[in-house]
Amino acid sequence: MLLTVCVKGMTQRRTTATLPSKVVVGYGNWGQCDEKMVNAVKEGVNVIIWFSINLVRNPLTGLPQVQGGPDLSCVAERIREIRQIHNGEQVVNLLSIGGWNSPHPDTHNTPEDIFAELDRWNLENGSLFDGFDWDIEGNDDISSPYNTFTASCLDAMGTISQCAKRKGYIFAMAPAESYLDPHCDLFDRSLQHAYPEWLELQPNFKYHGHNAYAYILHKYGKTSLTSGEEIDTFDFVMVQLYEGYSHALYNMDVLKDTVDPAEYVTDLVGRFKRGWTVPFSTDAELCHPDALVSLDPQKLVIGLANGWAGDGKFLFIPTPTLERIYAALEEAHLQVRGFAFWNIKDEGLTPANYDKDVWLARDLKRILGN
């Protein structure tokens, strides 16, 4: 394993937070910082992912720069409130990087220098964040360059993650379903593919990927420390089953009369555990051999949508179905690390074609037995 020297001097741990054994992850919406973040913790969220920053290049200096994000003085106040809640000290605060329609990380500077600036920025702002979460995705504009990952972007994401782990940060990734897809034996860096099963129903939807995040997970999934110890780079991987026109939606909605959601998710988690061969060698620029990619269920977090979804494009899974899914996973000895949902702002909404408002924080806490 290549050991990249990220920061000079002794390693200093940046957080004392520990990821809970069972996680309920709640994403804030774009720039969200309000009492709903605190209420979500009261209801059951134990990992907050604040949304979101971009890693860009300063146009004047050419140096790395952290851009955007929520109001940090507000975040600091909300975190103080959260720590006053019973067991609030166990809540992990991560910061997402990217998001749909956001620029991919600029790679004119080295990944080591980009991380150094990210680390400096967090320290300067009171070390509000225990770690980070990759949410680098595509763009509505079909002609956008951000509908393709560059090789340098994928390598930068991997190296930055390893640098962060060496500093003691928690790190996660949140690939859309198609970006880390054990049902797919293809690989490329484009995010403009169509799923075969959706071609007749949605022939114009071409915003899926072919396992781009699998490359990061396989090549950069371990981090070597200066002590010689090797640790996992990613503390958890949240797979977005609510990606637009996903495999999961097709099976649970279009094929709902013949497919049991609990069986479908159990099979999916089993596929992640067993692994699937990804033909990385088809991309000459990456210079990475074909490999078996796998994900331990204890690293897997199932990504859900709450009340904003259920419109026929984005999957909504009712709570009774989630209960059956989790019970089936336990019975199959495929317990996942937990669940995540987008987003805290929309807690309490009623999905389309559903007769109840949805509060995933409290429901997921109960399902996991937290």
Contact 38, 78 (CB under 8 A): yes
pLDDT digits (tens, 9 = 90+) for 274-320: 999 999 999 999 999 999 999 999 999 999 999 999 999 999 999 99
Whether residue 196 lies inside any domain: the answer is: yes
Whether residue 82 lies inside any domain: the answer is: yes
pTM across the whole model:
0.96
pLDDT digits (tens, 9 = 90+) for 130-184: 999 999 999 999 999 999 999 999 999 999 999 999 999 999 999 999 999 999 9
- In this prediction, residue 15 carries a pLDDT of 81
- In this prediction, residue 7 carries a pLDDT of 52
Span 76-93, mean pLDDT?
A: 87
Whether residue 13 lies inside any domain: the answer is: no
Whether residue 1 lies inside any domain: the answer is: no
pLDDT band at 89 (very low <50, low <70, confident <90, very high): low
Residue 369, pLDDT > 90, answer yes
Number of domains in the chain: 1
Span 183-187, mean pLDDT?
A: 98
Span 51-58, mean pLDDT?
A: 98
Residue 10, pLDDT > 70, answer no
Residue 101: give its domain's CATH number.
Answer: 3.20.20.80
Domain span at 79: 23-368
pLDDT digits (tens, 9 = 90+) for 204-238: 999 999 999 999 999 999 999 999 999 999 999 99
- In this prediction, residue 4 carries a pLDDT of 46
Whether residue 4 lies inside any domain: the answer is: no
Residue 90, pLDDT > 90, answer no
Whether residue 46 lies inside any domain: the answer is: yes
pLDDT band at 353 (very low <50, low <70, confident <90, very high): confident
Whether residue 136 lies inside any domain: the answer is: yes
Residue 11, pLDDT > 80, answer no
Whether residue 116 lies inside any domain: the answer is: yes
Residue 190 to residue 138: CA distance in whole angstroms: 9
- In this prediction, residue 42 carries a pLDDT of 96
Mean pLDDT of the chain: 95
pLDDT band at 240 (very low <50, low <70, confident <90, very high): very high
